[in-house]
Structures are given as structure tokens and as C-alpha cells.
Amino acid sequence: MDERLVKYNDKMGKTIDNLEQEFDAIRAGRANPHILDRIRVNYYGTETPLQQVGNISVPDPKSILISPWDPKLIKDIEKAIQASDIGINPSNDGHNIRLVFPDLTEERRKDLAKEVKKKGEEAKVAIRNIRRDAIDAIKKITKAGEVSEDSGKDLEDEIQKLTDNFISEIDKRTADKTAEIMKV
């Protein structure tokens, strides 16, 4: 790969990594502690990630147990979970908070599959924007005479192949996540 295209390859790779994080936050019927990754708790006036204020465990496939290190935080953690979009009501016993994941209905599975597809499309748009930026940069250096027109065309072809590879990777991951969600 041409060294001028490495930064675009890295950006596309980061887009895939971001998509994976987005997919981790979508629950597929079983308890996954990653759905809590984006939840922030008011910890003495500071918005703090939930993972930093307590221990998160998965005692069984259908529940997550959150054990705050400071018991005074239970109400704040409950509020943060209720304000999030995970769609589960927390229950507490005074010491721990339990999130119980009900089985997904067919309708909810379809909604989640649509959300996965939407996130996949957003990632594809991001990849295409990176490609556009790369092609603009290639045209600029070709026009400035830094590379020949043939070399410029070769670079454009290379960035297009790179784009196609990343788009097909997004399609594969989207299909895998959709299949995971739709599996009963």
C-alpha cells in the first residue's frame, strides 16, 4: 500500500472498530455488559462511566448485576440506567442493582435488526466520505505535479479497492449481527 493511503486505511479501520462498539451496545437477547458502556453516572458532580463506580458481572445469561463501590450511588445509577435507551428497568436490593433481560419479542428483534442495518449504513457513509477525502487529496497532488496522472489514477484505484474491502466487511458484520439478533 502506498504510504499516502495509510492514513485513510487507518481511518477506515477506526470506522469498523466504532461499528463494532455500536453493535456491542445492541443487546441480542442475552445479557451483555457492553450495553452499559455509554452510561454515565453523576459521581459527586462528575459524569463518570458506570464501569468506574462499581463492579459489573453477569451471574446468568439473562441478567447483569451491578455492585456499586459506594452504596450511596445506587439511586444515581438507577436514574442513569432509566435515562439511557437500553429499555430495561433496574431493580435494587439496597446493595446491588440487577438488570433482568426478558426474551426479545419478534417485533423487538425486527426493530433491533433495523437499527443494526442503520448503523451499518452510517458506517458505509463514513467509509465513502473517507474515500472522497482521499480522492480529493490525490487529485490535489496530481494537479500540483507531485505525482503523474497515471500514478494518480493508480492511487485512486487503490483507494477504491480499499473502500470496497471495508464496505464488504461492514456488510458481513451487519449480516452476522442481524443473524445473532434474529436467532431465537
As a whole number of angstroms, the distance between CA 67 and CA 14 comes to: 32
Point out the domain boundary residue: 100, 117, 134: 100
Domain that holds residue 67: 33-100
As a whole number of angstroms, the distance between CA 116 and CA 14 comes to: 18
As a whole number of angstroms, the distance between CA 132 and CA 145 comes to: 20
Residue 16 belongs to domain with CATH number: 1.10.132.20
Point out the domain boundary residue: 63, 78, 100: 100
As a whole number of angstroms, the distance between CA 37 and CA 82 comes to: 14
117 and 92 fall within a common domain:
no
75 and 140 fall within a common domain:
no
Domain count across the chain: 2
177 and 109 fall within a common domain:
yes
96 and 109 fall within a common domain:
no
Number of Cβ atoms within 10 Å of the Cβ of 1? 11
Residue 67 belongs to domain with CATH number: 3.30.1360.40
Taking only the tens place, the pLDDT of each residue in 100-121 is 887 778 888 888 899 999 999 9
116 and 174 fall within a common domain:
yes
122 contacts 11 by C-beta, under 8 angstroms: no
pLDDT at 73: 87
pLDDT over threshold 80, residue 39: yes
115 and 150 fall within a common domain:
yes
Give CA 95 to chain center in angstroms.
Answer: 31
User: In the structure, what pLDDT confidence band is assigned to residue 28 with cuts at 50, 70 and 90?
Assistant: low
User: In the structure, what pLDDT confidence band is assigned to residue 29 with cuts at 50, 70 and 90?
Assistant: low
Q: Three-state SS across 135-161?
A: HHHHHHHHHCCCCCHHHHHHHHHHHHH
Instruction: At 163, list the grid cell.
Output: 473502500
Point out the domain boundary residue: 100, 125, 142: 100
69 and 15 fall within a common domain:
no
135 and 165 fall within a common domain:
yes
Of residues 174 and 62, more confidently modeled: 174
pLDDT at 176: 92
pLDDT over threshold 80, residue 150: yes
User: In the structure, what pLDDT confidence band is assigned to residue 89 with cuts at 50, 70 and 90?
Assistant: confident
Residues with Cβ within 8 Å of residue 67, at least 6 apart in sequence? 54, 55, 56, 57, 95, 96
In the sheet that holds 97-100, the strands lie side by side as 54-60, 63-68, 97-100, 91-92
Average pLDDT, the chain: 88
115 and 157 fall within a common domain:
yes
50 and 9 fall within a common domain:
no
pLDDT at 17: 94
pLDDT over threshold 70, residue 27: no
89 and 123 fall within a common domain:
no
